[in-house]
Copies of this chain bind each other. A is one copy, B any other.
Amino acid sequence: MIGLDHVRAAAKRLRGVARRTPIITSATIDDMTGATVLLKAESFQRTGSFKFRGAYNRISSLPSDTKGVAAFSSGNHAQAVALAARLCGLPAVVVMPTDAPESKVAATSGYGAEVITYDRYTQDREALGRELAGDRGFVLVPPYDDQLVMAGQGTAGLELFDQAGELDVVVAPVSGGGVIAGCATAGTALRRGMRVIGVEPEAGDDTRRSLRAGRRVAIEVPRTIADGLQVSIPGELTFEVNRRLLEDVVTVSDQDLVQTIALLFERLKIVVEPSGAAGLAAVLGGSIDVAGRRVGVILSGGNVSAERFAKLIQGRQVIP
C-alpha cells in the first residue's frame, strides 16, 4: 500500500518537471449538474496525459547504474516513458502494436525512444517487453501496477486538492486503476470522508465487477472508443488500494463520451480524448450524486488526432 507520503515525495520529484496543470471551471457545467465542478486538465500535462507523472516518478528514482528503460503501451504511457527517460538521460525502448495510431508512434519516437512494433493479434506484448528488457538489461516501467507509478499519478490529485480547496467528491477514469488509486490515497488522507468515485466505459467495467466480487475479475478486451481504458483486469497493487478507498465505480457509454468531448470542445475550448472525459461524462450523466457538492474531476488526457475527433463527432464509431 502507498500512503500520502509517497504521493508527496513524488510531487517533490516532479516539481519543475511536470506541469502544474490548470483547474478549469464552467458556469454551464455547474448549471447542468447543480454542483461546483472543478476540472483538473491533465490534457495539458507534458506528453498530453497524467501518465507522465507516474513514468517520471518511477524513472527518476532508478539507481544511477540503470542502463535504460523498457515499456509496452499503445498510447499515453509510451509517450510518457519516452519523455521521462530522455529527461533522465536514459535510453528507452517501447513496444507498440503495428496498428497503433501513427501520431502516437511518431510522438514516442520524437521523444527519442526506440519503437519496436508487434502484432497485437499474434504476439504477447508483455512477454515481448520483458524479453527486450531482459536482453538489454533495461528496467521495465509498468503503466500502473507499481508503487512509484501510482504515487506519481496521484500527484494530479494532490495538486487538485491544493488548487481547488475543500472537495466533497473526486471523480477519475479507471483503466488499470493507477491515477485513481493515487488520488484516493492523497484525498482520503487529507480529508476524512472524501468520496472517491471511478468511471469505466460500459464495455470495460473490470474494476467495477472486481469491487463487487471482492477480487480481481478479468473480462474480454473491451470494445470502446475510450482507447486509454481498454484494460481487461485491474492491477494487483492498484486494486488493493482501490477496494479499500473507492466508494464506487460507475460506467459511461461511448455516446456519453462523444457528447462530453464535444461539450468540452465547444464550451470550454479544450481538447480532451474520449478516455479523458469519462469522469465528466459520469458527472453530467447523473449517475453520481453531486448536487450541491464541490466535485473535482480528473480530465486525464488529450491525445486524440483531429481526424479521429472528426469521425467521433460524426458518430462514426472509432474503436482502436
Which A residues are within 8 Å of any B CB, using their own CB? Answer: 22, 43-44, 48, 103, 261-262, 265-266, 269-272, 302, 305-307, 309-311, 313-314
* Sampled A-B contacts (8; CB under 8 Å): A43-B269, A44-B269, A48-B269, A266-B305, A269-B302, A307-B313, A309-B309, A310-B311
CB distance from A47 to the nearest CB of B (A): 11
Contacts of A48 in B (CB 8 A): 269
Distance in Å from the Cβ of A276 to the closest Cβ of chain B? 10
Measured between alpha carbons, how far is A310 from B302 in the docked complex, in Å? 17
The listed residue with most B CB atoms (<10 A of its CB), out of A271, A306, A314, is A306
Give, as a whole number of angstroms, the nearest-CB distance from A137 to chain B: 31
Copies in the complex: 2
Asked if B44 and A262 make an inter-chain contact with CB atoms under 8 angstroms apart, the answer reads no
Contact: A266 with B103, CB < 8 Å? yes
Chain B contacts for A272, CB-based, 8 A: 269
Instruction: Tell whether, in the assembled complex, residue B309 and residue A265 are in contact, meaning their CB atoms are under 8 Å apart.
Output: yes
Nearest chain-B residue to A302 (Cβ)? B269
Bound CA span A103–B266, Å? 9
A311 / chain B contacts, CB cutoff of 8 Å: 310
Q: Report chain B residues within 8 Å CB of A270.
A: 269-271
Residue on B nearest A24 in the bound complex, by CB: B44
Q: Known A44-B269, A269-B44, A270-B269; judge A262-B306 contact (CB<8 A).
A: yes
Docked Cα-Cα span, A302 to B266, in Å, equals 8
Report the separation of the CA atoms of residues A302 and B306 in the bound assembly, to the nearest whole angstrom. Answer: 15
Instruction: Report Cα–Cα, A156/B22, bound state, in Å.
Output: 21
Q: Knowing A270-B271, A271-B270 are in contact, say whether A306-B44 is a contact too (CB < 8 A).
A: no
Q: Give Cα A314 to B309, complex, Å.
A: 11
> Which single residue of chain B is at the shortest CB-CB distance from A44?
B269
Q: Which residues of B contact A266 (CB under 8 A)?
A: 103, 271, 305-306
In chain B, what residue has the closest Cβ to A307? B313
What are the 8 closest A-B residue pairs judged by CB atoms, nearest first? A310-B310, A269-B302, A269-B271, A262-B306, A310-B313, A306-B313, A265-B306, A43-B269
Residues of B within 8 A of A22 (CB): 22
